[in-house]
Amino acid sequence: MAEIVLKDVCKVFEKDQYAVSDFSLRIRDGEFVVFVGPSGCGKSTTLRMIAGLEDISKGELWIGDELCNYAEPGERDLSMVFQNYALYPQMSVYDNMAFSLSVRKVPKKEIRRRVEETAEMLGISNLLNRRPAALSGGQKQRVAIGSAIMRKPKAFLMDEPLSNLDAKLRTHMRVELADLHHKLGITTIYVTHDQTEAMTLADRIVVMKAGYIQQVATPIDLYNHPTNMFVAGFIGSPAMNFLRGKVKRAGKGAAFLTEGGQIFPLTEDQAHVLWPQHDNRALVLGIRPEDLYTAPVHAGKVYGEMKGNVTACEALGSEAIVHIENEDGEFAARVAPDHGAQPGKEAALYLDMANAHFFDGETEQNLFYQWRNEA
């Protein structure tokens, strides 16, 4: 177990083509960190650099107190779980799990004890004599995880370990992984493009885009205080709704005037910050689907009314997603199942303005919250 520190790590594949740029992060001992981002954002490359499967072009990688830029993958004492499990097909489950230890010349007795103990913990004791081909996806994944934890490494690296499983099994394994991390307390770095996995598993999430870290924060912080439009749009499903427009003076306070001509009143605090600094500048209002209501529920709150044509209603049982369309674009609202809206008809939604986010129209930065990388 160890702390892992990355300092200005870069990966250059070809001349001046940065796959990862200035990646700085301090991963605390025992922490569960998830790298998340769209494909091609550099999250897997970063993980592979930590593992030693890719060279680090620039910057430093510290594992514990050692500078590990130049260490061979086998010397770093990390173990990795791959998307396709990477089990050796010609070996039994037992041999697969024992492989890393037998390479390290651990005595046979000790290996047997540890394999049995690990198999017990993962509930795969009855599979030890089988070949990987005779296992189901979930069992393979469990064996892969077993092989990884056998060695008691300094950290686990997981590269989209659940993406080959079906939806139900994925949810199940997610819970098991969280439980396992809780039991073992080993530093874990987990790469995924699935924001649900990121939100549910992580102590901290690292959101990446085009090789740059966008924001590092706990799931809740990330959700409530996204530093820019990318993070705001990436985290949360359905995604945050965005409206382009400007702030205008309206009576004593101020209001947000959209490009499509809708007017939303601002709260006092928002007006105070946005007016007059951002007068006449292009802004973006972001609002999460759950902050849209079919009726203004609380008397004391500031609501903005938005009208539009209902394009679809998705009933999810405990809730419903209503999609509406107007001059400003398309919007999704997460509402109670008895919403009463019907596709093809007009409906009004009410924005809970206190929960609205405001971004600069050009830099796309959050005007109320700025995250700085202090690692």
Partner 1 sequence: MENTAVLKTPTGTTLHRENYTQEELAALHRRMGLAALRRRRIRTGVLIVLNVIMALFILFPLLYAVSVSLMPGDELFTMEMNLLPKHPDFGNYIRAWTQVPLLRFVLNSFIVAGCITLGQILTCSLAAFAFSFLNFKGKNLLFMLVMATMMVPGEATIISNYLTVSSLGILDTYLVLILPSLTSAMGIFLFRQFYMTFPMSLYESAKLDGCGNLRFIVSILLPLTKSAIGAMSVYTFINAWNMYMWPLLVTGSQEMRTVQIGISMLDNTDAQSVTLMMAGVVSVIIPSMVIFIAGQKQLIRGMFSGAVKG
86 binds partner 1 (CB under 8 A): yes
Within 224-243, the residues that bind partner 1 by CB under 8 A are none
Task: Write down the H helix ranges in the chain.
Answer: 43-51, 93-103, 108-122, 137-150, 167-184, 195-201, 219-224, 229-234, 268-274
Q: How many residues bind partner 1 (CB under 8 A)?
A: 23
User: Which pair of tokens denotes residue 20?
Assistant: 């990862």
User: Which pair of tokens denotes residue 120?
Assistant: 């017990």
In this structure, what DSSP letter does residue 172 have? H
- Contact letters for partner 1, residues 316-355 (x by CB under 8 A): ----------------------------------------
45 binds partner 1 (CB under 8 A): no
One residue of 62, 99, 275, 369 binding partner 1 per CB under 8 A: 99
300 binds partner 1 (CB under 8 A): no
One residue of 9, 27, 49, 78 binding partner 1 per CB under 8 A: 78
Please identify, using beta-carbon distances, which residue of 115 and 199 lies nearer to partner 1. Answer: 115
Cα-Cα-Cα-Cα dihedral of 44, 45, 51, 57, to 10°?
Answer: -170
User: Which residue has 């039991």 as its token pair?
Assistant: 183
User: Which pair of tokens denotes residue 185?
Assistant: 């307390």
Please identify, using beta-carbon distances, which residue of 43 and 151 lies nearer to partner 1. Answer: 151
One residue of 24, 83, 92, 163 binding partner 1 per CB under 8 A: 83
221: CB partners within 8 A, 6+ apart: none
One residue of 30, 64, 73, 238 binding partner 1 per CB under 8 A: 73
61 binds partner 1 (CB under 8 A): no
Which range touches partner 1 (CB under 8 A), out of 58-66, 83-91, 246-254, 317-325? 83-91
164 binds partner 1 (CB under 8 A): no
Please report, for residues 59, 68, 150, 326, the alpha-carbon distance to residue 55 in angstroms, rounded to integers and kept in the order given. 11, 11, 26, 50
Query: What minimum distance in Å lies between the beta carbon of 336 and partner 1?
Result: 42
Which range touches partner 1 (CB under 8 A), out of 18-26, 50-58, 114-122, 305-313? 50-58
User: Which residue has 């007009």 as its token pair?
Assistant: 346
Query: Can you state the angle between helices 108-122 and 93-103, rounded to 10 degrees?
Result: 130
Please answer whether residues 52 and 68 qualify as being in contact, where contact means their C-beta atoms are separated by less than 8 angstroms: yes
64 binds partner 1 (CB under 8 A): no
CB atoms within 10 A of CB 170: 19
3-state secondary structure of 186: coil
User: What is the C-alpha separation between 321 and 72, in angstroms, rounded?
Assistant: 50
79 binds partner 1 (CB under 8 A): yes
373 binds partner 1 (CB under 8 A): no
134 binds partner 1 (CB under 8 A): no
14 binds partner 1 (CB under 8 A): no
80 binds partner 1 (CB under 8 A): yes
Please answer whether residues 207 and 332 qualify as being in contact, where contact means their C-beta atoms are separated by less than 8 angstroms: no
Name the residue among 79, 84, 59 with its Cα closest to residue 69: 59
One residue of 38, 70, 88, 343 binding partner 1 per CB under 8 A: 88
82 binds partner 1 (CB under 8 A): yes
Please answer whether residues 95 and 88 qualify as being in contact, where contact means their C-beta atoms are separated by less than 8 angstroms: yes
One residue of 67, 103, 134, 297 binding partner 1 per CB under 8 A: 103
Please answer whether residues 211 and 18 qualify as being in contact, where contact means their C-beta atoms are separated by less than 8 angstroms: yes
Which range touches partner 1 (CB under 8 A), out of 51-59, 123-131, 215-223, 356-364? 51-59
Question: Which residues here bind partner 1, judged by CB under 8 A?
Answer: 51-53, 72-76, 78-80, 82-84, 86, 88-90, 99-100, 103-104, 151
